[in-house]
Amino acid sequence: MTQSRNEPLAGEERSTRRRTVLAALGALPVLTAASSVARASDAGVVTAAATAVIDPSATRQTIRGFGGMSHAAWIGELTAAQRDTAFGTGDGRLGFSLLRIPVPEDRAAWNRDLATAKRAVELGATVIASPWNPPASMVETFVHGSQTDARRLRYDMYGAYAQHLNDFNTYLRNNGVNLYGISVQNEPDYAHDWTWWTPTEMVRFLRENAGSIGTRVIAPESFQYLKNMSDPILNDSAALANVDIIGAHLYGTPFANFPYPLFKQKGAGKELWMTEVYYPNSSDSADLWPQALDVGEHIHRAMVDAEFQAYIWWYIRRSYGPMREDGGISKRGATMAHFARFVRPGYVRVEATAKPATDVYVSAYRGGGSTVVVAVNKGAAAVSQQFTLANSAGPSVSTWLTDASRNVASQGTTAVSNGSFTVTLPARSMMTFVIR
């Protein structure tokens, strides 16, 4: 993604290409904020739901974390306080455990995001990096459809490019940041403003050159999780051997395309990450409510339907992002924090009744001696929701709530009786339950 073509902010250019493409796909709904949101007590209506059964013994994917992008060259560096807000885990923090940074083509710029990366690591986060372009000396132009000045990596520079990525990895390691992984290319299939790669070129690079890179390799980071970019990797044993993380972006990707059967069939030993998105758009304020609940559903779908192990937002600090420009946590950020603060790296998603009622979405995770349940109620009525833990039960449940007026606010504890507890999910709200 580039700054200029995605953000309708003052003083910045904006290309209409992505908006036009995604609008045509009809995949990014724009909602309007309600003038007021009635709470359950105001409306006097509480609907019943089917029991949500949580089975901690039925394990799914291991979670690597939730996070966002820092790109100092385009929007400026995070301040020291903003880094602590992003990666701290206490009250008033986002709890991010993942940071994505760019790989500048110019070595002189390699220190640009270093301060944020180092602080993220100090606070327990993991860092990955993605390039938008190789060094200019490695690039040639060609005709790509109507684009006469399209860029691609020269075939005789594949080895040099692998060394470039490896050198960036070494630079960060020497400066206190051990990259968890590095990408071959950001959005190679939506690259009008950067460097194009075909699926064949990506497979060739992975087969012949990626094995020399000294950290985990991420590919292909398709802009819309288009499987024609990743299927060839999964179907080529030599390429697959040299990739560690299948990365994808979810711009305009319909929920129906979230599952990936071929990855389940052939991706044993590999990881599946969602490495960039904003949702539902970049034009509205991140504080619109109940629109921000769309983010909660989107993360739920990414974890449950797609079974991603990571979820990374675009800019951490932006008008439409988890952190406002003033450094405060937005409503979209609060919905992310319901996952990020409580579902920590290494936790495992466990089986749960995913939709016990209309507009209610439930996912569950196990780790650190706790079971974490995240529930999103997008409906206009409160829901009386019973949760039952199969083959397991803690003595009490700690609860946090976000609604129109509160952000990840502690609601105290609830007792567990015979492995079950019942709570009221307020209308248009999000709740996290930690069962110990």
pLDDT band at 44 (very low <50, low <70, confident <90, very high): low
Strands 245-249 and 271-276: parallel
CA–CA dist 173, 308 (Å, integer):
27
Mean pLDDT of 372-385: 98
* Chain Cα centroid distance, residue 150: 29
Which pLDDT score is estimated for 381?
97
Cβ contacts of residue 106 below 8 Å, gap of 6+? 135
Report pTM.
Answer: 0.92
Report whether 425 contacts 391 (CB < 8 A): no
CA–CA dist 299, 362 (Å, integer):
11
Which pLDDT score is estimated for 4?
43
Among candidates 61, 65, 344, 18, which has minimal Cα distance to 180? 65
Among candidates 148, 128, 136, which has minimal Cα distance to 65? 128
Percent of the chain with pLDDT over 90: 86
The CA-atom distances, in angstroms, between 261 and each of 218, 305, 333 are 19, 11, 31
- Give the H or E element holding residue 142: strand 139-144
pLDDT tens-digit map of 87-146: 999 999 999 999 999 999 999 999 999 999 999 999 999 999 999 999 999 999 999 999
Q: What is the mean pLDDT of the chain?
A: 91
Quickly tell me which residue has 């952190």 as its tokens: 323
Strands 65-69 and 271-276: unpaired
Among candidates 313, 354, 368, which has minimal Cα distance to 335? 313
| Sheet arrangement for strand 147-153 | 139-144, 147-153, 195-196
pLDDT band at 195 (very low <50, low <70, confident <90, very high): very high
Helix axes 331-340, 293-304, angle to 10 degrees: 30
* Chain Cα centroid distance, residue 208: 30
Structure tokens at 114: 């270093």
Report whether 351 contacts 58 (CB < 8 A): yes
pLDDT tens-digit map of 239-265: 999 999 999 999 999 999 999 999 999
Which pLDDT score is estimated for 31?
31
Strands 360-367 and 370-377: antiparallel
Which pLDDT score is estimated for 45?
78
Among candidates 192, 198, 294, which has minimal Cα distance to 250? 294
CA–CA dist 436, 433 (Å, integer):
10
Report whether 64 contacts 367 (CB < 8 A): no
pLDDT band at 14 (very low <50, low <70, confident <90, very high): very low
pLDDT band at 392 (very low <50, low <70, confident <90, very high): confident
Torsion of CA 321, 322, 323, 324, to 10 degrees: 50
Among candidates 76, 73, 87, which has minimal Cα distance to 119? 87
pLDDT tens-digit map of 292-304: 999 999 999 999 9
Catalytic residue IDs: 187, 276
Coil, helix or strand at residue 398: strand
Mean pLDDT of 55-81: 97
Among candidates 333, 339, 335, which has minimal Cα distance to 372? 339
CA–CA dist 157, 181 (Å, integer):
21
Helix axes 199-208, 158-174, angle to 10 degrees: 70
Structure tokens at 85: 């807000």
Which pLDDT score is estimated for 1?
63
Report whether 2 contacts 193 (CB < 8 A): yes
pLDDT at 59 over 60: yes
